[in-house]
Chain A
Amino acid sequence: MGDSGIAEIFMNESREIIGNLESDIVSLEERSDDEELVNGIFRYFHTLKGSSGIAGFNTIYEFTHDLENLFDKVRSGEIGVCAELTDLLLSSLDWIKSEIFDEEVDENSSRIREDLTVRLKSYMGTSSVTQKKGEELPEQRVHYSGTETEKFFRITAKFREDIFTFGIDPLMILEDLSLLGEIEINKVNKSSLPDLFDMDPHNCYLTWDIILKTEHDFEKVRDVFIFVSDDNDIAIEDVTSEHSPEVPGDGTYKTEKKLGEILVDQGVIRSEDLEEIVKLQENRNEKIGDIVVKKGLASTKQVHDALQEQDRIKKKVEVSTVRVDSGKLDNLMNLLGEIVIGQAALHRIADEMEEQRAFSFKNALYSLDRVTREFQEQIMSIRMIPIGPTFEQFKRFIRDTAHNLGKDIKLKIEGADTELDKTVIEKIGDPLKHMIRNSIDHGIEPSDERVKKGKPESGTLTLKAYHQEGNVYIDIVDDGRGVNLSKVREKAIAKGLISPDESSSREKLLSILFNPGFSTAEQVGDLSGRGVGMDVVKTNIEELRGAIEIKTNEGEGTLVRIKLPLTLAIIEGMLIGIGNSILIIPLLSVTETIQIKKDDYKTVEGKGELILVRGEYVSLIRLGELFGLEAACEDPWDALIVIVESDGKRVGLMIDELIGQQQVVIKSIENHITLSRALSGATILGDGRVALIIDIHGLVEEIRK
């Protein structure tokens, strides 16, 4: 702050101070026990020091610093007042005066200062010298200088409730912390928040849990809390050792530390040993811990301790995730949906632009598309959670259920880390439970029956999840008795679901299982067999845009396969036009789009309109008619036919025109609007129009009726 205005103010101030000091120091010889006088002198030195530092008189700042220290000892009674001391003080003042006011620089100035400093220090005794000669101005707060290595600190901060009454805002402290480095995790514990009516807005109820990555040392971190540390519950812990310094490029930390590394860290084995052991391990396929013990490099206790440490690290690191309210994710997904809609609008505008400008505009748009798509994938990946925990939940249920029925059942879980959309996981629990219950109740036989059949005594139920072709599959497999198809047929006839003379395929019979009110259980059991459920299961899964199928071999077992989409929020859609309206067909269901010849068209009594597609007749559905829209084309051979497939069934949808293909965001339609089963929702198009999304599965079902 070398402002000339400041210098002038400082000179005036110091002239006054030095004048006062001179007379006070002289008085000190007579009144050395006058506390007020001593304090006054100290304060003058103190003020002089502060002012000189601000005004940029660094030599004076350093010198008065020593004077202040010396006089502090006088004040505390450590040093007695004598003529020698007052001489020294007065000579010091003389030097300060000449330094500030003499226009010509005295060439002896620095020598005089050195002499004085030596005298001052010898007076104080070397041990109490706090500042070395020639040292720079003290390091300033706020301006943080770093050390070379990175450290991690875990900070849990619970501030006293009335912290705001000290003019302190915890956020300010967090901001200070962020100046020191990176705040890796910031978990806010809201558990002590009272009810709204009991809440005092002047109080602070939150607790913070922070991992700080910083180059500064413990003291610097602690200094941030200097204003709150005593009366608040602040814990700062150096957790550097738990964080691997190797930070991979994607910013995530190694979630685990290898056992060998821990042993090396703990000084149990040398890193050379470790290399050798790792080589051995590759050949022998043994556990590191076993090899270490076998080679006599560590005791089992040491390995055990290291394993515990490994667990501890894992647990700590596991905490280093951010918990986000799932509603926020949904919002994010919704917003992304709006972006996709906005982009579709831009594409439309681009289509109407004159060619030259359209080219560069479209180029820019395509790169935006790419980013959006990646963005979408990222959000989706956040929404994806492994199915493992859901499977695990059934362990107990299966055990108890089997026990109640006197059955012995082993559970096998495969693909526990298969990830599904959070919403899907939430909704899949009940259907899964139902199917598992069916398997235990109807499928797997009691042990004695199994033994008679030459099967292993205990039955096996397998829950298996896997990805395939953009879908997630969940299989529920049992090695029980399978579905007795002839019994199903009997029952179906008895219930009037099929006619006695109708020959029905396996497929048909199995699909009857999902008919409302159908049950084959001879005895109405406690758990299932009441015919309620299978149809509900099917509906639930279809609501998730999924499908369910059953495969069975009598006597060998049953497989229930649930097919689910990866996400529920966005689909690839085919935009089609009928008259003035636009509808969307999920692209996944579309197999091809064709035009037919007049000869390929037939009408069959009881089956309606049929068209010949690749040697096979499929039903033709006039979409316009179905939805009450006025279609432009009346004859199928003039129109376009979209062939869609659902549950292995193909149907042809008659449309007027194909408009394009784009990602569409599914917007749910308010519950009070009763939607045709053939529709699954709606979306907003780029031009702001609303287009309904066709539910192919529902549509095919509808037609069958």
Chain B
Amino acid sequence: MGKVIMVIDDSPTIRVSVEIALKSTGVEVKQAENGQDALDKIKEITDAGGEIALCISDINMPVMNGIDFIKEFRKVDKFTPVVVLTTEAEKETIQKGKEAGASGWIIKPFQAEDLVNVVKRFVK
């Protein structure tokens, strides 16, 4: 298993959109519905010898929200970038994400091109 981008959002529309948008980059995309789901899947992937290249995470999610996810994730992985998915209206969550250890943000709704650009910046 090679590099994986983890997309974490409770909305399947967003998850699938991200996956479709990132097809062109050739990096494998895995989906998770919330923070806890993501942590479980990330563990599975890394246990199998895979590498997480980037996490793209929504903030407002049931079970485990994005902020808690980032905090938990940072306990096991300090360097992998986490990009926060947010909306123009909730820019204050950027600040919270940042404090938790996020590395960047993308504003929803996004264009496929924008997303690819962001990913390219974080994933070499």
Contact = CB atoms under 8 A, between A and B. Distances in A.
Contacts of B88: 138-139
A40 B62 CA distance: 8
B21 A1 contact: yes
A54 interface: yes
A54 B58 CA distance: 14
A15 to B, nearest CB: 12
A141 B106 contact: yes
Contacts of B21: 1
A405 interface: no
B109 to A, nearest CB: 3
Task: Identify whether the interface residues of A are mostly helix, strand, loop, or mixed.
Answer: helix
A175 B114 contact: no
B3 interface: no
B101 A54 contact: no
Interface string A162-173: 001111100010
Contacts of A141: 105-107, 114
B103 A166 contact: yes
A68 B81 contact: no
Contacts of A46: 60, 87, 90
B27 interface: no
Contacts of A42: 60
Contact of B81 (A50, A167, A230): A167
B94 A226 contact: yes
A683 interface: no
B25 interface: no
Contacts of A54: 13-14, 17, 108-110
Interface string B103-124: 1111111111010011001100
Contact of A172 (B11, B80, B112, B122): B122
A175 B17 contact: no
Interface in A360-417: none
B16 interface: yes
Interface string A414-448: 00000000000000000000000000000000000
Interface stretch (A5-13, A297-305, A582-590, A617-625): A5-13
Contacts of B107: 138, 140-141
A140 B11 contact: no
Contact of A6 (B9, B16, B82, B85): B16
B62 A43 contact: yes
Contacts of B9: 50
Contacts of B85: 50
Interface in A1-60: 1, 3, 5-6, 9-10, 12-14, 40, 42-43, 46-47, 49-51, 53-55
A165 B9 CA distance: 24
- Among B89, B102, B106, B114, chain A packs the most CB atoms within 10 A around the CB of B89
Interface residues of A, number: 45
A50 B103 contact: no
A191 to B, nearest CB: 26
A574 to B, nearest CB: 53
Interface string B3-27: 0000001111110110011000000
A13 B11 contact: yes
A6 B20 contact: yes
Contacts of B58: 50
A40 B21 CA distance: 28
B37 to A, nearest CB: 15
A518 interface: no
Nearest to A11: B13
A130 B87 CA distance: 13
- Among A10, A142, A230, chain B packs the most CB atoms within 10 A around the CB of A142
Contacts of A47: 10-11, 60
Interface string A516-530: 000000000000000
Nearest to B10: A47
A227 interface: yes
B71 interface: no
B16 A69 contact: no
B78 A165 contact: yes
B48 to A, nearest CB: 22
Which 3 residue pairs across A and B have the least CB separation, nearest first? A53-B109, A167-B81, A167-B103
9 contacts: A1-B111, A50-B58, A51-B14, A54-B108, A140-B114, A142-B106, A165-B78, A168-B104, A226-B105
Interface of A: 1, 3, 5-6, 9-10, 12-14, 40, 42-43, 46-47, 49-51, 53-55, 61, 65, 68-69, 72, 130, 137-143, 164-168, 172, 175-176, 202, 226-227, 230
Given A138-B88, A140-B107, A142-B117, 20 more contacts: A5-B20, A6-B20, A10-B13, A42-B60, A43-B62, A47-B11, A50-B9, A50-B14, A51-B14, A53-B109, A54-B109, A55-B17, A140-B110, A141-B106, A142-B114, A143-B114, A164-B78, A165-B101, A167-B81, A227-B102
